[in-house]
Amino acid sequence: MNLLFHFLILGFVLTGFTFARKKKFNVHEKWMFSGIMLLTISFFSWMASSYIKNLDLVLSGFYTPGIIMTNIHVVLGITTGSLVLYIIANMKFDLPERFAVKRVRGLMRITFVLWLLTFLFGVSFYVWYFVL
């Protein structure tokens, strides 16, 4: 169910990306924010609790291919989520100058690429554990 949910989120993110390319930033913001909210629901509803519940398996099989793939997904996800929160804070709040980024476009692109990598590792997780 979570995998299907993430394909829906992929649709939101790609739609938001398309609107940004067309310089329709208000519409871009709405699509991306909706995708971020859906990701947040997924994270707290399924992913974090599943990882914590299976932490003993993660630690005992730390060097197995499936766990390595899972941990890469987790690290990429935490990094991407942190960047998303920073971008939102940077754009919506008056951050002190030393913490603010004036041209956020490059950071958004990096975050988009990291999110796509996170998504691909998430799909790989499902293929590894449920298909192979």
DSSP-H helix ranges across the chain: 2-21, 25-42, 48-53, 55-60, 65-92, 105-126
Give dist(CA 18, CA 129) in Å, integer.
32
Which pLDDT tens digit goes with each residue over 24-76? 999 999 999 999 999 999 999 999 999 999 999 999 999 999 999 999 999 99
Which pLDDT tens digit goes with each residue over 72-106? 999 999 999 999 999 999 999 988 988 999 889 99
18 within 8 A of 37, measured Cβ to Cβ? no
Question: In 61-100, which positions are buried (b, 16+ CB within 10 angstroms) versus exposed (e)?
Answer: eeeeeebebbeebbebbebbbebbebbeebeeeeeeeeee
Q: Which sequence spans correspond to the domains of the chain?
A: 1-53, 68-132
Give dist(CA 42, CA 118) in Å, integer.
14
